[in-house]
Structure 1
Amino acid sequence: MQTPSKHARSRLASMSLCLLTAAAPSMAQVAPGDAAGSNPIIHDRFTADPAPLVVGDTLYLYVGHDEAQRDEMFNMREWLVYSTKDMRTWTSHAPIMNVKDFKWAKADAWASQTIEKNGKFYFYAAVEHDASHPGKAIAVAVSDQPTGPFVDARGSALVTNQMTPKGTHSWEDIDPTVFTDDDGTTWLAWGNRQCYIAKLKPNMIELDGPIQEITPPHFEEGPWLHKRGQLYYLTYASLDRSTQRDEHISYSTAPAITGPWTYRGLLTGSGKYSFTIHPGIVQFKDNWYLFLHNASLSIGDLNGAIGRRAVTAEHLQYNADGSMKPVVQTSAGVSLPPPAQ
């Protein structure tokens, strides 16, 4: 293993602090809720980095599987998918992939997103590349069904650390988000500390043009692209290192996917007991939802921690000018109706 860089040591120190302070009060506000539709939405496994996809009358939710034991920081080897038709009851499906399914990758089944195009489902995920291309990388797999099985679509990484040489550390190429615009063009964005965007070729497994940097204020990781009306949204995990201990959610908007992006401020506070947070946004049956994660779940003798997170869901609403209304994280989640407009 390579000696961690200064940036790596700083981030590992922040993560270690989170482990030591996991029992401390959180900035997230919590309200009681019932079982169905309340938070966390999955109770029998630790899940993280939620990525929703709507197919017909069903919402599929792709998540990473946190398996850290005791004082482990991250132990993620597979990706899971759940489905719902009502946002209250969730069906668990078989794991869709293991990091070992990418023969060129050696570890870390980190954040992912799946998108449908041309009758197929394309799955983009962050992994640790083997020694041939050291650092984090983005993989792409394909399936005929949203629940898999998925198979490596390239036999190699779509993005490697060597393709973004201006970055400050070896794990900048993580957390892919994919978005298809109205003209049929699909875009990939990703990053940690730096946020990148690139167009995909119609085959969905090659970049089509240069990688551009679009880093918004306080960008940390976990970008998510979506569009509502004529406005494009870039939502992400943010960290103002001068005032914040844990990641929050911020967002920017633009008149085009290529920008210019305007910072719109915070969408949420931090996740309960969690250093990390990760947004996923979707419209489903006429309502908008924001998926996140925190570290509030306990299973057996394992409490929530940086490597044991839990996915949550909240209602998402917009103002008349297109800005998103701030979201208060609750334990009630979507078991309660959305607030009155």
Structure 2
Amino acid sequence: MPIIQTKYTADPAPYVHGDTVYLYTTHDEDDAEGFKMRDWLLYTSTDMVNWQDHGAVASLRDFKWYKGDNGAWAECVVERNGKWYMYCPIHGHGIGVLVADSPDGPFVDPLGKPLVWQKEHWYDIDPTVFIDDDGQAYMYWGNPHLYCIKLNQDMISTSGDIMQMPHIQDYQEGPWFYKRKGHYYMAFASTCCPEGIGYAMSDSPTGPWTYKGHIMNHTPRTRGNHPGIIDFKGRSYCFGLNYDILRLETSRHAERRSVSAAEMTYRPDGTIVELPYFQDCTLRQVGTFNPFRRVEAETMAWGYGLKTTRENPSGPWNDTPFVTDIDDGEYILVKGVDFRKGAHEFTASCSAQLYGGRIEVRLDSVNGALAGTVNVPNTKFQYQKFTCSLTGAKGVHDLYLVFRGGDRQKRNLFNFDWWQMR
């Protein structure tokens, strides 16, 4: 199932920095029918299964030259010389660029205009940027044609003319350009609809590109796709998108997409072993999760039904996201938590406007061993810390934080900011 459930996400752009994957995504609004996209989100993980939500790190408002309120399409983010560059297509208005000193921003527009805009058509979408071993950076993009241009050292200006590549078999959109063990790869969303994930290979960063087949074949189980591919901690991963979270609610179509990921493998000649559909793939945890620190509540492997936001409907604005819309029976799953020789205390920071509820700390399943219970009473809008003792929490387990209401309140129980074990 998709790795993010608290928001609708699409167009994954993963970037590895140190021991962390920075996953940038687009954002489909909860009421979207067609594409309704206004900002770009960031999630991070050190183990590929537990993801922390950092909220929106950039939006259309960061481009002062664009006056619309829709069109925040598939972005790409790269790092160079301590700066983080986000390349953002705004449908019908070219591709802009934002820059920040850290991966979560704040991002600002250094140009005040698009970096690339071919005004004669609306094909300038889905940028992918890669810096080669010799320091030369390239940006590819385009639907239905594939374009390429060289970027200068400053990453916010171009060199030479735009190159239109010869058509790659089954290419539609969403290119993802990277290099691995001397081979250049161009993954892409293959011909709509439904889209699969195809790829081509080359010995040169500017082609010619030779079509090699599918990373994931066309399937009626999804409609669109958009690849992002990384190597992380000795394994290779393909990110894409589907409608599986929406399918938990309805069988009708709406543009409310969700990002998924799967482990992928290469053959000795560099070609890629085709994957089945995401639900049939494996996504193993890399390492374990440390609970003996302040853990933002919006860090989870699964949290369907919950929402994350900075906008507190029952209190002040938060500097960081928090979990809200908490109903009786919903839960946060954190996989592979290492309690070591034993955790003896659990503390949660929560805010309840009305009657509140409680958090059951359970091991290995929603109905698993009960290690402890935190009661969250009315806090009059203010965040307070609540603590309980724990029993039986030792070794490595999946952690379930199960939310319970009382007789007087079953929905919107409280807001949940962070937790920690001792």
Give me the TM-score of the superposition, normalised by structure 1.
0.78
User: What is residue 22 of structure 1 aligned with on the other side?
Assistant: none
Q: What pairs with 1:159-308 in structure 2 (closer than 5 Å)?
A: 159-162=116-119, 165=120, 170-214=121-165, 215-239=167-191, 245-270=193-218, 273-298=221-246, 305-308=253-256
Cα deviation digits, residues 104-143 of structure 1 (max 9, x gap): 2223111001000011000001113xxxxxx241010000
How many residues get paired? 283
The amino acid that maps onto 1:81 is: L
Q: What pairs with 1:63-212 in structure 2 (closer than 5 Å)?
A: 63-67=25-29, 69=31, 72-105=33-66, 106=68, 107-128=70-91, 135-162=92-119, 165=120, 170-212=121-163
Gaps of 5+ in 1: 1-38, 129-134
The amino acid that maps onto 1:221 is: E
CA distance change for structure 1 residues 302 and 60 in 2, over 3 Å: closer, same or farther? Answer: farther
Inter-partner Cα distance in structure 2 for 1:331 and 1:304: 19
Does structure 1 conserve the Cα–Cα contact (< 8 Å) formed by 2:20 and 2:45? yes
- The structure whose RCO (Cα within 8 Å, separation 6+) is larger is 1
Structure whose residues are more often strand by fraction: 2
Is 2:15 the partner of 1:53? Answer: yes
Does structure 2 conserve the Cα–Cα contact (< 8 Å) formed by 1:177 and 1:190? yes
How far is the alpha carbon of 1:153 from its aligned partner?
A: 2.1
Inter-partner Cα distance in structure 2 for 1:259 and 1:154: 30
User: What is residue 42 of structure 1 aligned with on the other side?
Assistant: 4
CA distance change for structure 1 residues 123 and 238 in 2, over 3 Å: closer, same or farther? Answer: same
Q: Cα RMSD over matched residues?
A: 2.0
Does structure 2 conserve the Cα–Cα contact (< 8 Å) formed by 1:140 and 1:157? yes
Inter-partner Cα distance in structure 2 for 1:289 and 1:45: 22
Does structure 1 conserve the Cα–Cα contact (< 8 Å) formed by 2:149 and 2:163? yes
The amino acid that maps onto 2:222 is: S
Inter-partner Cα distance in structure 2 for 1:305 and 1:187: 36
Structure whose residues are more often helix by fraction: 1
The amino acid that maps onto 1:117 is: R
Does structure 2 conserve the Cα–Cα contact (< 8 Å) formed by 1:137 and 1:174? yes
Inter-partner Cα distance in structure 2 for 1:58 and 1:334: 20
SS at match of 2:47: coil
User: What is residue 13 of structure 1 aligned with on the other side?
Assistant: none
Give me the TM-score of the superposition, normalised by structure 2.
0.64
Does structure 2 conserve the Cα–Cα contact (< 8 Å) formed by 1:296 and 1:304? no
Cα deviation digits, residues 291-341 of structure 1 (max 9, x gap): 000001039956684410000000111011110110112326544489xxx
How far is the alpha carbon of 1:271 from its aligned partner?
A: 6.1
CA distance change for structure 1 residues 147 and 337 in 2, over 3 Å: closer, same or farther? Answer: closer
- Runs of 4+ in structure 1 deviating by more than 6 angstroms, as ranges, are none
Inter-partner Cα distance in structure 2 for 1:143 and 1:271: 38
Which shifted more, 109-118 or 213-222? 213-222
Larger radius of gyration: 2
The amino acid that maps onto 2:126 is: D
The amino acid that maps onto 1:62 is: Y
Paired residue for 1:320, among 258, 268, 272? 268
Which shifted more, 206-215 or 291-300? 291-300
